Structure 1
């Protein structure tokens, strides 16, 4: 089979997810210091930026501090990552480099995933040797900073324990594209968890992907084709094996960054469903709005709103179910930015 983007390592089984109760909001883990708790090494909290605060309103958040979780005090001696290579760092105390917290932080991350299988995402803490998503400082044994090229120990453990779990840190969430991608993946994974609780069947799996087709097209066209072929004979395959391959491919596809060009391609596809219902002037106006979005003159919400208006007047059941039209709550306003 053609390869999907990125690696697709094993993930939690559909059965493990199905054992947990449903929740209307996605449950998202978050660094406790970002929620105002004074748990940092210096006994202080960290001010969450406006974007993190907005997401805390949209999500059902659960706060964790891995350093406190493994028994480190408040305040406490700071730690940093030490290693000559990015893939072999240790979390050591800064003062003496004799206290090694690596295994305990990694174990805490693995245990957190095991105890919270209903998490749909996690907001990490920029630059933290335990919770940093990426570009965390790495030091040599002599104490000299050598690079900013690694991930926090706890953050790495989360990713290894549940590779499909969407992760971002508070700093990266300032980027509109990364923020939109993270939120899209969180709501998608939450939707998948809900499906698993209902019970997987070939018919439900095909129906699930049917709703996501245009969203996948906006992010990664090759995956749009691959996932379609994967499900072509869904009823003849082992459902659990098929489901694992499908969700790995879907989440990998959505991790690809959508562009104005790729979004415009989807918008024109959707507009094609209105070809017979709209008059010439209305079709031209809609096409013009899509072009204006494509060249960056208006935000995505403008042509989307126009499409919703036309489909409200000309209902189409297939389009009504497309997640692309509203992949997350409108109040997040992620499609309002140029």
Structure 2
């Protein structure tokens, strides 16, 4: 059985009426589509730290590197209250086995980037980070995090969801087969996926796996996990995907007819030119994997990294 895929999320994105004005920011994709495959762990920093609903709106003020959380009209400073609560809350969340977190964009408590910071009379600097989001990301630096605004971008959405599913598979490996052989098998299955993010990083990971006997198990797996999540954080591009698809096509050089090879190359070229989405060459490649029972590609996560129902590769 697959282990649960737990995702932390700003509670207002689930439709909970916890915002300062008593409203919410329900996100239909997160609740109606992604929610079928994950278990959400809602967090509202402002209500959980003791502030009511409705409440006076707040903003970040002062030094962008170390801003204060202050109410807009009355000037009440809630910085210490939020920081103390955040320290306790992230330790509680450490017990939830989270595979990622979705923050509310631009929130002074939960925004992960580009939060307005007011200083003086000039225009606010969009360089701040919400106080809870900052504490969370410092506590879990490798965990895949995004905000709901950035998840409207198809490329960023596909990248983040790929990462949370890989992290779930990684934790299943740690729980079931914390061995060098298990690591080799995991690395092999993820080869094409890793190459679609960074060939350089993939090579570095391969060297680590090849030298596995030189490390203790804990050191080996910790280093690999760091490289794994750093690699997947890098964006895939059409050029990278195109190279991976051609590499995969090479496994059929003795099976496909010249016409079939030409068709596949033409579809990959159409994808590179942004004429068709990634799902088109992937679907044809999966067809050939099934038709010719190609065992190596059949085990590659790249061909099915997340549920097809999410339709992520229909838009990249």
Q: String of CA shifts for 1:213-243, please: whole Å, max 9, x gaps.
A: 1111001110011000011021332011111
Q: Indicate yes or no: 2:21 matched with 1:46.
A: no
2: CA distance, partners of 1:124 / 1:308: 35
Higher relative helix content: 2
Tell me the equivalent position of 1:125: 104
Following superposition of structure 1 onto structure 2, how do residues 1-338 of structure 1 map, counting pairs within 5 Å? Answer: 24-50=3-29, 53-84=32-63, 86-101=64-79, 102-116=82-96, 118-140=97-119, 142=120, 145-338=123-316
Aligned length: 314
- Change in Cα spacing, 1:64 to 1:220, as seen in structure 2 (3 Å) is same
3-state SS of paired residue (1:244): helix
Does the 8 A contact of 2:194 with 2:232 survive in 1?
yes
Instruction: Report how far residue 23 of structure 1 moved.
Output: 5.1
Q: String of CA shifts for 1:49-91, please: whole Å, max 9, x gaps.
A: 535642222211121111111111111222211123x221122
Instruction: Report how far residue 302 of structure 1 moved.
Output: 0.6
Q: String of CA shifts for 1:105-142, please: whole Å, max 9, x gaps.
A: 532442243332x11011110111111121111112x5
Q: String of CA shifts for 1:134-185, please: whole Å, max 9, x gaps.
A: 1111112x57642111211111111111111111111111001110111011
3-state SS of paired residue (2:314): coil
Structure 1 residues without counterparts, runs of 5 or longer: 1-21
Instruction: Report how far residue 316 of structure 1 moved.
Output: 2.1
Instruction: Report how far residue 310 of structure 1 moved.
Output: 0.7
3-state SS of paired residue (1:324): helix
> Please, which moves more after superposition, 97-106 or 240-249?
97-106
2: CA distance, partners of 1:61 / 1:259: 29
1: CA distance, partners of 2:221 / 2:121: 47
1: CA distance, partners of 2:4 / 2:238: 28
2: CA distance, partners of 1:144 / 1:79: 18
> Please, which moves more after superposition, 50-59 or 258-267?
50-59
- Change in Cα spacing, 1:294 to 1:215, as seen in structure 2 (3 Å) is same
- Change in Cα spacing, 1:97 to 1:153, as seen in structure 2 (3 Å) is same
3-state SS of paired residue (1:189): helix
3-state SS of paired residue (1:173): helix
Instruction: Report how far residue 259 of structure 1 moved.
Output: 0.5
The normalised TM-score by structure 1 is 0.88
> How well do the aligned residues superpose, as a CA RMSD in angstroms?
1.7
The normalised TM-score by structure 2 is 0.94
